Amino acid sequence: MIKIENLTKRFGDATIFSGLDLTISKGEIVVVIGPSGTGKSTLLRCVNFLETADEGHLTLGDVSVDSQQASKKEVLALRRKTGFVFQNYALFAHLTARQNIAEGLITVKGWNKEEAHHKAQQILDDIGLGDKGEHYPAALSGGQQQRVGIGRAMALEAELLLFDEPTSALDPEWVGEVLSLMQKLATRHQTMLVVTHEMQFAREVADRVIFMADGGFVEQGTPDQIFGNPQDPRLKKFLSQVGIR
Ligand SMILES: Nc1ncnc2c1ncn2[C@@H]1O[C@H](COP(=O)(O)OP(=O)(O)OP(=O)(O)O)[C@@H](O)[C@H]1O
């Protein structure tokens, strides 16, 4: 179980969000939608301490930390339980696809190189890139690079996968393959917190959709509730802007 309590983040004088509470059950797929600049990416970044929240408490399994008081050891323990998939893939350009996936197992989990590469090859097979292990990122398409980015997060077998707009940097032709892989993870009951502008994904794959705006969670519910029967005028406006209602 993942529990986020009273999460608040400011940049200088600007409060990006405040008092966010979110509990995610094991295997649940939560998708956060909302207008640009409302702090969706910042929320994910605060959950695995790429940013430090100004207030808040995070519980992930047996790790429970205050944002402001977390020790380095606690932050590392929490990171081991969260895999992060970045918008721009964030692969190491000087490492092959297999090395990119193996790297986290070596540095985060302390595996030896042989074990890590064996596991990385299994992951490559699983994500349909079994023959691309020796390729450097520059020799892979955007969709393949992002699948490696997801494979890297999968390798850690984290309790929670965080996806920060995983398809927004992709050419449209590659979006489908990345969403299919995410869908596959969802069918395996991988717990996921996803920020995306892909409304179809939210509609078809999410267990719960959260609409974030004006520094808070304005409305949340099943995809049917959020897309079929929105209540808040800001959500209605947003849906019409993205062409849904
Ligand atoms: N490191 C930073 N320093 C100062 N301001 C920041 C920083 N990172 C983000 N912001 C600001 O915080 C706000 C929220 O940004 P964030 O990227 O989290 O929004 P978002 O909802 O994910 O937007 P989008 O959908 O466009 O990606 C924005 O106004 C952004 O400019």
Q: Is the CB of 37 under 6 A from ligand 1?
A: yes
Type of residue at 133? G
Which tokens go with 154? 């999968």
Closest ligand 1 atom number to CA of residue 165: 27
How many angstroms separate the alpha carbon of residue 178 from the centre of ligand 1?
24
Closest ligand 1 atom number to CA of residue 34: 21
pLDDT at 244: 85
Residue with the nearest Cα to atom 17 of ligand 1? 41
Given a cut of 70, the residues of the chain with pLDDT beneath it are none
Angstrom CA distances, 204 to 176, 179, 198, 201, stand at 13, 11, 10, 5
Which residues are CB-contacts of 194 (< 8 A; sequence separation ≥ 6)? 29, 30, 31, 32, 162, 163, 166, 182, 201, 202, 206
pLDDT at 79: 86
pTM confidence score: 0.95
Type of residue at 42? T
Asked if 81 and 26 touch (Cβ cutoff 8 Å), the reply is no
pLDDT at 161: 96
Residue with the nearest Cα to atom 10 of ligand 1? 11
Residue with the nearest Cα to atom 24 of ligand 1? 36
Residue with the nearest Cα to atom 25 of ligand 1? 36
pLDDT at 245: 75
pLDDT at 25: 95
ipTM at complex level? 0.96
